[in-house]
A and B are shown apart, each in its own frame.
Chain A
């Protein structure tokens, strides 16, 4: 018995030594270098996209983000989610690395206090027949339009329609949509949830300038917010047949001390016959929003 164990121990030691040598292999002088695994940073080899019918890089297709930024654009742990006593793992929210360049959103001190208050009250629903309905709670919870750039990192696909005079983006979430006017540079005629967008090409990058926002959208469920001075500049760059690298610069002097940026890839949905489904969440929130106005059962 003891002898056999010594043989096993010897073999294990040899194996360990072999592994150490393998993992720390260095080329001897005169040998070719050991192949290194490619870096996992978001770098793509140079790519030239095919042309769309407007002569520019073709961004048409159905796209979706894979980040969890809708929960929190900054770094966040997984968490239980609301009503975990009933929802269990169904309702739990995944963790994720943030998409904010530099890690933190540069809030003005008084605005940071408001963000924290937003987060605490994100699930408060107070429906009134006037704009004070927007003072509290995450608009996503009520199936309101997500605004920009949040619509691009919701966990739902969207379709880019690159037409002659405009690029339209149709979102599965709440059938939200935005039109990026390519030929007409006039100012926003009215404020809206999805903003007023004009676009131009910078080489193969679609650059979109959006203003004219209502102040009611949030950037995520963590209470990150803006005022009606919000100005977003987006860059959509095709980096492979299956990826667009997306970047958005967010500027709002009422809320932030300087502009800040988010960046993440968009992935082309490759399923055969892929199309947008309906996510008409108005149906799913009606009870939550209007039950207090419903005729009580006792009457």
Chain B
């Protein structure tokens, strides 16, 4: 078997602070990630990052990063139960989701227990750090409309513009990914909105600041068995949590830790928005393919329904639906 070591130039990692040392999943003894024909650690296949773990740590856990076995089992059981109830509360004929036919429930989609108290592992309290004064001011000045008057009043996802990646946060459904590796590229397809990210590994520079992309623009390189992806060039108005596209950098790390698990770690670094960078770890678990096409805008009934409801509410004697 060829054992090529991928000798790519180490990518100059500018202002992104390295993720602090956090207990990560250790590779099982004697297990090494297989290689692709061109020597990359193999991340290929279908994966899901669905879990019942919240992004931010509930206050009662304090600085505790891990659940006990009992706590983990209990939370997982509760999550499955809620998911099961959701499915059967929403059978064919309900106006929102036909969960029984389309298998939208987490319990049907390969959700696994997660031993962590929260996805965020740094800061140590497991919560998003405070906003900078600049970001607080921007937040306060944002108008929150109570009635939908135009498409711009809805989220980018409801408008089928983007579902906010990176980072790869779990989706309520269709939280599945398909990774394909070829020499010089890693492709990550996300099922929810059928979004494909092409990540070049050839050491090319980032795009100039004059080009802005809906999912930013990513560059990857291997550090040992970890794929490190840096993303910049975000589009104004399309950043996670209203981060500043001019100063935002997202760092992602993918490491296959056993046959059925990739450890995915992301760091959000935007000094204009948060007082410090923050990091989360989300396991990606082996899932069953294929991915389905998610033709969002082709069938965006939601948008019309919400706008119509907004207009109905404005009529005299209208329901006042919001």
Chain A residues within 8 Å of B, Cβ to Cβ: 52-54, 60, 127-131, 139, 142-145, 159, 161-166, 168, 170, 175-177, 179, 181, 184, 189-190, 192-194, 216, 273, 275-278, 280, 282-283, 286, 290, 293-295, 299
B41 contacts the other chain (CB 8 A): no
Chain B residues whose CB sits within 8 angstroms of the CB of A144 once the complex forms = 295, 297-298
Q: Which of B61-69, B82-90, B187-195 contacts A (4 or more CB under 8 A)?
A: B187-195
B58 contacts the other chain (CB 8 A): no
Nearest to A193 among chain B residues (CB) is: B295
Whether the Cβ atoms of B196 and A129 lie closer than 8 Å is no
Known interface pairs A175-B196, A286-B151, A294-B150; A53-B183 also in contact (CB < 8 Å): yes
Chain A residues whose CB sits within 8 angstroms of the CB of B235 once the complex forms = 278
Task: Report A145 CB to chain B, min CB distance, Å.
Answer: 6
Task: Report A268 CB to chain B, min CB distance, Å.
Answer: 14
Task: Report B251 CB to chain A, min CB distance, Å.
Answer: 20
Q: Chain B, 51-80, contact with A by CB distance < 8 Å: what is the 0/1 string?
A: 000000000000000000000000000000
Q: Is the contact region of chain A dominated by helix, strand, or loop, or is it mixed?
A: loop
Whether the Cβ atoms of B36 and A164 lie closer than 8 Å is yes
Whether the Cβ atoms of A282 and B310 lie closer than 8 Å is no
Nearest to A191 among chain B residues (CB) is: B293
Whether the Cβ atoms of A143 and B44 lie closer than 8 Å is no
Whether the Cβ atoms of A299 and B314 lie closer than 8 Å is yes
- Bound form: Cα–Cα A130–B300 in Å: 9
Whether the Cβ atoms of A290 and B187 lie closer than 8 Å is no
Known interface pairs A283-B161, A294-B150; A168-B295 also in contact (CB < 8 Å): no
Known interface pairs A161-B180, A175-B195; A192-B292 also in contact (CB < 8 Å): yes
Whether the Cβ atoms of A168 and B180 lie closer than 8 Å is yes
Give B274-322 interface residues, CB cut-off 8 Å to A: 290-293, 295, 297-299, 301, 303-305, 307-308, 310-311, 314
Whether the Cβ atoms of A295 and B214 lie closer than 8 Å is no
Nearest to B235 among chain A residues (CB) is: A278
Of the residues A163, A179, A216, A295, contact of B310 by C-beta under 8 Å: A295
